[in-house]
Amino acid sequence: MSEIIVGVSGGIAAYKAASLVRLFTESGHDVTVVPTEAALKFVGAPTWEALSGRPVRTDVFEDVHEVPHVRLGQHADLVVVAPATANLLAKAAHGLADDLLTNTLLTARCPVVMAPAMHTEMWEHASTRHNVETLRSRGVHVLDPASGRLTGTDTGPGRLVEPDEIFAACMNVLESRVQDLVGRHVVVSAGGTREYLDPVRFLGNRSSGRQGYALAEAAVARGATVTVVAANVALPDPAGAAVVQVVSTEDLRREVLLAAADADVVVMAAAPADFRPDSTVESKIKKTPGGDAPQINLVENPDILAELVRTRVSKRPVVVGFAAETGDENGSVLDHARVKFERKGCDFLVVNDVSGERVFGRDDNEAVILGSDGSVTPVAFGPKIALAHAVWDAVTALYP
């Protein structure tokens, strides 16, 4: 198991860090809590010591013979700061070291995760945004805060993401310590589009967005700047990714093409509807007893994946498609997938066999990754995050 430093800075959300420490210790990790003096005004040292089973220090002059301001960072496998206040982010970005936590951040050569929490005005201030960009450019994993109720009656972005989400992000970082996507902007589409017939009915599909969100989480862990275009996904936003919500296939197309303009990689994990009604009724279609069912005329939706390939310049961005297939009398899953792969022209096609209630809405997946170089990479059944990393392994192999 890993040696983890949990830094806690002085914000009201410090109480949530107690749950994070518990998640780490219950998973078998060794945890040392390093609070700031301000953090101890919210949660006292006895709480941290009881949860971690280790003494708590805040000052570099405590137990000087152990040189804690150097030793802690040198021996850590991960440092996570939750909450990370605007003050802490500023100190870290400028290399200030006036207490044990900031000294530890300077000496750490392991991955660092920061979960900001502050009022909206502070999070949106140009100084904070610049500090976050600086830290991210150095490979620090700065998660975007959640939007919701803050101190008092305030509401907006700046709320600390939930401890289980921070824990998942940290585990993802520990499992993928390679930072091979630093400096890359990746776009991931996720979920299933809806094509409305009337205000209450739509044509849709069963895609939950779980695989797309796993791809986003893995990319964040590997250092990328991540934009997710999410179609009707009812999941918490992936920590550290910017999420754009859409509904229809045309919405998805517009936002993906916009985000792809400066992207290095686009992964089309969403399931866009192939067809849409040729018109939408503004009021609910009524059922008439004994009457005929309404006739619905469908028209074909644009092929977003093919358009991405057709409009890119010099083979950039790298384009990854997904194919949810079932076998039939005309061919196997891979037979159908290879035909689609040739037609689409993307760099990789991730092929899922979705027959027999598999894949959709589940936490596990298995797939075959087809490469334009003729490679065929099976990914065994397992957590969707494992498949996500396999996809990024394939993508990063294309870069020098």
Which domains does the chain show, CATH number per domain?
3-175 (3.40.50.1950), 185-396 (3.40.50.10300)
205 is catalytic: yes
Q: What is the pLDDT of residues 37-51, one digit of tens each?
A: 999 999 999 999 999
Q: What is the CB neighbour count within 10 angstroms for residue 298?
A: 13
The mean predicted confidence, pLDDT, of the chain is 89
Q: How many angstroms separate the CA atoms of 326 and 225, rounded?
A: 34
Q: Which of 87, 131, 205, 301 is catalytic?
A: 205
Q: What single-letter DSSP state applies at residue 309? A: H
Chain centroid offset of residue 65 CA: 41
256-271: per-residue pLDDT in tens? Answer: 999 999 999 999 999 9
Q: How far apart are CA 344 and CA 308, in angstroms?
A: 9
Average pLDDT over residues 202-213: 91
Q: How confident is the model at residue 149 (pLDDT cuts 50, 70, 90)?
A: confident
pLDDT digits (tens, 9 = 90+) for 96-141: 999 999 999 999 988 999 999 999 999 999 999 999 989 988 888 8
The CA distance from 263 to 186, in Å, is 6
Classify residue 38 as exposed, middle or buried by CB count within 10 Å of its CB (0-12, 13-18, 19+).
middle
By the 8 A CB rule, do 365 and 371 touch? no
Q: Counting Cβ atoms within 10 Å, is residue 149 exposed (0-12), middle (13-18) or buried (19+)? A: exposed
Q: Is residue 20's pLDDT more than 70?
A: yes
Tokens 């990319």 belong to 219
Residues 6+ apart with CB under 8 A from 197: 203, 277, 280, 281, 285, 296
Helix (H, G, I), strand (E, B) or coil at 58: coil
Neighbouring residues of 59: CB distance < 8 A, sequence distance ≥ 6: 99, 100
Q: What is the pLDDT of residue 309?
A: 95
Strands 376-383 and 364-371, by their bridges, are antiparallel
Average pLDDT over residues 267-288: 90
Q: How far apart are CA 114 and CA 138, in angstroms?
A: 13
- Measured between alpha carbons, how far is 101 from 391 in angstroms, rounded to an integer? 36
**pLDDT score for 62:** 64
Residue 14, pLDDT > 90, answer: yes
pLDDT category of residue 194 using cuts at 50, 70 and 90: very high
